[in-house]
């Protein structure tokens, strides 16, 4: 083999010596060396297996090491590893055809990127040029990526150190009944008031200056916030009324995560642009993109689109997307994710909430769930403060350790744990993970004061 086989200690020491990790103080981390992975599990060098309830960064929708996906990548690698964007390529053409085929009707063209941030950057550029306007509405409690524009669009603390960012961003509150910005008490009120708030902002900003409203169809890292009935339809109607481009960021919510091809399918709403990445090929090769409605594609029929990437539509990445979409269809993976949400995960989490006072709310859809952990169910005081680090984050860190000791890899963000396993996870595996959560939540309950 051309690749060296290393011991755990070699991996760890070379990592510490030479790898610069994202979002981290380099001296404060100790990344776990991973030796292998299969299906819903990965394993360390000691052979300890972890059931992955975080799908890495919520991207391994198809599970680890799917043999047919690996075979497709190998086949494409042997045929043609790389060719640039100015040429046509069969893997790229087929990936675009398949993606347009599962997208809402009327979104028929695909611009490929290497990931989610670049997808959002290019979607915003398209919206601005299409409308000739410059403002972009972006939500608090959102994540859109870490490049200059995408981090500026982001509505969470990861933006703070990159400010001031891209000009022209107008921040708004999306719906989140459990911690309502609108003093709402019902889903209907939350939806209506969030829409009125958007309308008011459009009015005072000047509708003729607003290019796009960007939203995560279901907000991911910032809480698995499911839009209340009527909200997405209402945003669509506002965009139509004022000539604004609706951009749905489905980087995390798309490709099966919500038990649909795209989360918007659940509410039967058609955005003008959909951004995707992650689940499109489960990150076996980096890939993302923008799916484009006819009217916006038409803008660039005779006028050049001023944007591109050396690896836009990379053949290896596109071949893996082709294989992944076909495997999703053949193996009923979308149906499995929908079934898990309806029949398995939701009921199991609600049962946990009956035993653990620290669970303030259970919410989710498909394989996209959150437990909101609190110190008091009445005041809803979060188990750890917003953006807590160090000792302030100890209750969540201890909860995470309790999961890991027992062989479950959790997704943790602030005071929440998200239950976001691969869409291919079996009901038995979910039960195994829930049993571990049941034990680990005893740690969270120790901080309950309500």
| Residues making contact with ligand PLP (CB under 6 A) | 57, 115-117, 120, 143-145, 216, 220-221, 249, 251-252, 277, 288
Q: What single string gives the DSSP state of each residue in 86-108?
A: TS--HHHHHHHHHHHHHSPTTEE
For tokens 């038409």, the residue is 298
Nearer to ligand PLP, 249 or 272 (CB): 249
Q: Closest separation between CB of residue 15 and ligand PLP, Å? A: 20
Through-space distance between the first and last CA atoms of the chain, rounded to whole angstroms = 59
Nearer to ligand PLP, 57 or 388 (CB): 57
The DSSP bridge pattern shows strands 245-249 and 273-276 to be parallel
| H-assigned helices in 300-426 | 315-331, 333-339, 346-355, 394-405
Cα–Cα distances in Å, from 181 out to 187, 211, 238, 297, 387? Answer: 13, 24, 20, 36, 18
Which helix (H) or strand (E) element contains residue 432? helix 427-445
Q: Closest separation between CB of residue 110 and ligand PLP, Å? A: 16
Nearer to ligand PLP, 143 or 448 (CB): 143
Q: Closest separation between CB of residue 248 and ligand PLP, Å? A: 10
Closest CA to 120 of 270, 128, 238, 226: 128
Nearer to ligand PLP, 113 or 358 (CB): 113
Instruction: Please classify residue 199 by burial: count the beta carbons closer than 10 Å to its beta carbon, then call 0-12 exposed, 13-18 middle and 19+ buried.
Output: middle
Q: Closest separation between CB of residue 258 and ligand PLP, Å? A: 12
Nearer to ligand PLP, 190 or 249 (CB): 249
On the question of a cis peptide bond just before residue 164, with omega within 30 degrees of 0, the verdict is yes
Nearest residue to the partner ligand PLP, using Cβ: 116
Cα–Cα distances in Å, from 177 out to 190, 227, 228? Answer: 6, 9, 9
Q: Closest separation between CB of residue 150 and ligand PLP, Å? A: 7
Distance, in Å, from the CA atom of 125 to the CA atom of 247, rounded to the nearest integer, reads 11
> What token pair was written down for 4?
């060296």
Nearer to ligand PLP, 62 or 436 (CB): 62
Q: Closest separation between CB of residue 353 and ligand PLP, Å? A: 26
Q: Closest separation between CB of residue 345 and ligand PLP, Å? A: 20
Nearer to ligand PLP, 53 or 448 (CB): 53
């Amino acid at each position: 083999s051309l690749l060296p086989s290393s011991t755990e200690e070699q991996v760890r020491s070379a990592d510490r010596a030479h790898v610069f990790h994202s979002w981290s103080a380099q001296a404060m981390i100790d990344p776990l060396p991973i030796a292998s992975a299969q299906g819903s599990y990965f394993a360390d060098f000691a052979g300890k297996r972890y059931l992955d309830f975080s799908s890495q960064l919520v991207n391994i929708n198809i599970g680890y090491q799917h043999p047919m996906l690996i075979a497709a990548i190998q086949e494409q690698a042997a045929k043609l590893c790389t060719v640039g964007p100015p040429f046509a390529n069969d893997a790229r053409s087929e990936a675009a055809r398949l993606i347009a085929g599962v997208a809402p009707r009327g979104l028929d063209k695909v611009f490929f990127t290497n990931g989610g941030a670049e997808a959002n950057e290019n979607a915003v550029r398209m919206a601005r040029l299409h409308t000739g306007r410059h403002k972009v509405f972006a939500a608090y409690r959102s994540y859109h990526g870490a490049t200059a524009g995408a981090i500026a669009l982001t509505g969470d603390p990861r933006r703070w150190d990159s400010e001031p960012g891209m000009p022209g961003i107008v921040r708004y509150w999306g719906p989140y009944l459990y911690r309502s910005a609108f003093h709402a008490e019902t889903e209907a009120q939350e939806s209506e008031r969030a829409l009125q708030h958007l309308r008011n902002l459009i009015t005072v900003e000047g509708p003729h200056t607003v290019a796009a409203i960007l939203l995560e169809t279901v907000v991911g890292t910032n809480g698995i916030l499911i839009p209340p009935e009527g909200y997405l339809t209402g945003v669509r109607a506002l965009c139509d009324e004022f000539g604004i481009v609706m951009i749905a960021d489905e980087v995390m919510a798309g490709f099966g995560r919500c038990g649909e091809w795209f989360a918007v399918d659940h509410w039967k709403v058609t955005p003008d642009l959909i951004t995707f990445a992650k689940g499109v090929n489960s990150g076996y090769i980096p890939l993302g993109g923008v799916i484009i409605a006819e009217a916006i594609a038409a803008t660039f029929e005779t006028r050049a689109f001023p944007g591109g990437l050396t690896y836009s539509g990379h053949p290896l990445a596109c071949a893996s997307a082709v294989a992944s979409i076909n495997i999703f269809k053949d193996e009923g993976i979308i149906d499995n994710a929908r079934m898990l949400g309806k029949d398995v995960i939701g009921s199991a989490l609600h049962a946990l909430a009956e035993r653990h006072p620290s669970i303030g709310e259970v919410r989710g859809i498909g394989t996209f769930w959150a437990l909101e952990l609190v110190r008091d169910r009445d005041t809803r005081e979060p188990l750890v403060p917003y953006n807590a680090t160090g000792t302030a984050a100890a209750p969540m860190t201890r909860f995470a350790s309790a999961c890991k000791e027992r062989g479950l890899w959790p997704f943790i963000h602030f005071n929440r744990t998200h239950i976001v396993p691969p869409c291919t996870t079996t009901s038995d595996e979910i039960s195994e993970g829930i049993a571990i959560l049941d034990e680990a939540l005893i740690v969270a309950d120790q901080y309950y004061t309500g």
